[in-house]
């Protein structure tokens, strides 16, 4: 059970794994409504009760998900970190990148693929079109304090393609663009922990 921002990476890590009997991805924009996101994830995990031995919750704390495994009825493991970028970089390197530029917009492959249209939809920036306000008017306000866009590659898929999408986004908001590599260690580790938890519950 995961945010679809991580779908590509999870599919890569679990391809042809016979221990994975169910995969479900929830729309990325849920985090805009933290309470609804928490309720939805809990409901989805609880719906798997009796069908699986354990659930990997492919979310970081994302504002409102701290302590989630203690609230669901199925043994679960979730990701450590504040958000998806923290998962790919680790907390130390995430903090270092923020220190390099406090106004950094971070883009992962999933975020780069969603692009500007997703930002507009996610934040309802098109809600005043009938009043004569172009969504980009609000986009400019939203990104006024940002100083750069940093693409964090996960190592899965066509890096050039996703990095170019990130560059296009940066150009739209008139920000300089940098890129760097992340890794899947924390994601893979959490999936491994979930499989070990499932094995212990199945005995």
Average pLDDT in the 151-162 region?
96
Q: In what order do the strands lie in the sheet with 177-181?
A: 104-107, 148-153, 177-181
> Which tokens go with 55?
């659930």
| Predicted pLDDT at 133 | 75
Identify the pLDDT of residue 73.
96
pLDDT tens digits, one per residue of 27-44: 877 776 788 889 999 999
pLDDT of residue 27: 85
The label of the residue with tokens 């920036």 reads: 125
Residue 180: what pLDDT? 97
Q: Is 119 helix (H, G, I), strand (E, B) or coil?
A: helix
Structure tokens that stand for 147 in this block:
């100083």
* pLDDT at residue 39, rounded to an integer: 93
Say if pTM beats, i.e. exceeds, 0.95: no
Residue 99 pLDDT: 95
Q: What per-residue confidence (pLDDT) applies to 85?
A: 94
Residue 191's CB is within 10 A of a number of other CB atoms, namely 22
156 sits in the region (left: phi over 0; alpha: psi -120 to 50; else beta) called: beta
Quote the pLDDT of residue 203.
58
What's the pLDDT at 201? Answer: 74
The answer, yes or no, to whether residue 199 has pLDDT greater than 80, is yes
Residue 105 and residue 146 in contact, taking contact as beta carbons nearer than 8 Å: yes
Burial class (CB in 10 A: 0-12, 13-18, 19+), 1: buried
Using N-to-C axis directions, what is the helix angle for 135-142 and 109-122, rounded to 10°?
Answer: 120
Report the sign of the C-alpha dihedral through residues 9, 79, 109, 95, in that order.
negative
Residue 162: pLDDT band with limits 50, 70, 90: very high
Alpha carbon 8 to chain centroid, angstroms = 11
pLDDT reported for residue 191:
97
Any alpha helices (H) in the chain, and if so which ranges?
7-14, 34-46, 84-89, 91-100, 109-122, 135-142, 159-172, 185-202
pLDDT above 80: residue 175? yes
pLDDT tens readout for residues 75-128: 999 999 899 999 999 999 999 999 999 999 999 999 999 888 878 877 777 777
- Note the pLDDT of residue 202: 66
Number of H helices, E strands in the chain: 8, 7
pLDDT tens-digit map of 137-156:
888 888 999 999 999 999 99
Please list, in sequence order, all residues whose beta carbon lies within 8 angstroms of the beta carbon of residue 53, skipping any fewer than 6 positions away.
Answer: 75, 197, 198, 199, 201, 202
């Amino acid at each position: 059970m995961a945010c679809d921002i991580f779908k590509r990476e999870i599919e890569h890590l679990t391809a042809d794994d016979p221990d994975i009997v169910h995969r479900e991805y929830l729309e990325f924009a849920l985090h805009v409504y933290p309470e609804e996101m928490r309720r939805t994830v809990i409901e989805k995990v609880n719906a798997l009760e009796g069908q699986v031995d354990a659930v990997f919750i492919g979310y970081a704390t994302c504002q409102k998900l701290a302590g989630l495994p203690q609230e669901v009825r199925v043994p679960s493991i979730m990701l450590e970190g504040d958000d998806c970028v923290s998962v790919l970089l680790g907390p130390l390197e995430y903090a270092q990148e923020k220190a390099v530029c406090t106004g950094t917009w971070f883009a992962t492959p999933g975020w780069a693929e969603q692009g500007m249209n997703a930002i507009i939809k996610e934040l309802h920036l098109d809600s005043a079109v009938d009043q004569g306000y172009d969504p980009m008017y609000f986009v400019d306000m939203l990104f006024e304090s940002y100083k750069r866009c940093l693409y964090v590659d996960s190592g899965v898929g066509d890096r050039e393609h996703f990095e170019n999408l990130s560059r296009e986004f940066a150009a739209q908001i008139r920000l300089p663009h940098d890129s760097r590599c992340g890794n899947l260690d924390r994601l893979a580790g959490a999936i491994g922990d979930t499989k070990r938890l499932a094995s212990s519950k199945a005995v």
